[in-house]
């Protein structure tokens, strides 16, 4: 289950979707993944609309002002099939992309998945890791109409 952070979006209808599990699973707690989508479109303070969903959670549409962010967190499921996808739109483009897939992201951004939205596309960054190295851009989704 996902939980949104209402303080980071201009959408005043953001709410907490559900409580995180309080009981341990098989004697330990699953890790929590923190997602961040940042509007780096620049220009004339271009707004970005983002609507993210999973099979179990609809995080609703959010309008994110330039240099602002939309954040949420969740715990991946036991089976490794957690998927969040987001539809992004702004005056220069739009597209729907898989923003978190356990099989792809469980190693590249175990605890913190940062996405920066630019005029070139949606850019995913790894987190700092003592084995994999410093944070770096490793995924770029180009806008559909460019």
Q: Considering the chain, what is the average pLDDT of its residues? A: 82
Pick from 8-22, 34-48, 62-76: least confident: 8-22
Burial class from Cβ neighbours inside 10 Å (0-12, 13-18, 19+) for residue 58 reads exposed
Report the distance separating Cα 23 and Cα 105, nearest Å. Answer: 25
For residue 41, name the pLDDT band (cuts at 50, 70, 90): very high
Pick from 14-18, 54-58, 103-107: least confident: 14-18
CB atoms within 10 A of CB 110: 15
The pLDDT of residue 21 is 39
Q: How does pLDDT run across 76-130, given as a tens digit for each residue?
A: 988 889 999 999 999 999 999 999 999 999 888 888 999 999 999 999 999 876 6
Would you kindly state where each structural domain of the chain is located, as residue ranges? 3-12+30-142
The CATH topology of domain 3-12+30-142 is Immunoglobulin-like (2.60.40)
User: Model pTM?
Assistant: 0.78
Residue from 98, 107, 89, 70 nearest 144 by CA: 89
The pLDDT of residue 110 is 84
The single residue listed with the structure tokens 């469980």 is 106
135/117: higher pLDDT: 117
Percent of the chain with pLDDT over 70: 75
Q: Is the pLDDT of residue 18 over 80?
A: no
């Amino acid at each position: 289950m996902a939980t949104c952070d209402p303080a980071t979006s201009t959408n005043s209808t953001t709410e907490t979707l559900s409580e995180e599990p309080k009981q341990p699973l098989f004697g330990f707690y699953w890790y929590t993944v923190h997602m961040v989508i940042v509007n780096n479109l620049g220009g004339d303070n271009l707004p970005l609309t983002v609507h993210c969903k999973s099979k179990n959670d609809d995080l609703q549409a959010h309008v994110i002002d330039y240099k602002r962010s939309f954040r949420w967190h969740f715990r991946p499921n036991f089976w490794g099939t957690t998927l969040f996808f987001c539809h992004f739109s702004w005056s220069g483009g739009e597209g729907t992309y898989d923003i978190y897939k356990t099989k792809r992201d469980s190693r590249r951004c175990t605890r913190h998945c940062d996405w920066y939205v630019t005029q070139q596309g949606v850019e995913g960054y790894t987190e700092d890791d003592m084995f994999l190295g410093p944070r770096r851009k490793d995924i770029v989704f180009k806008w559909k109409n460019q």
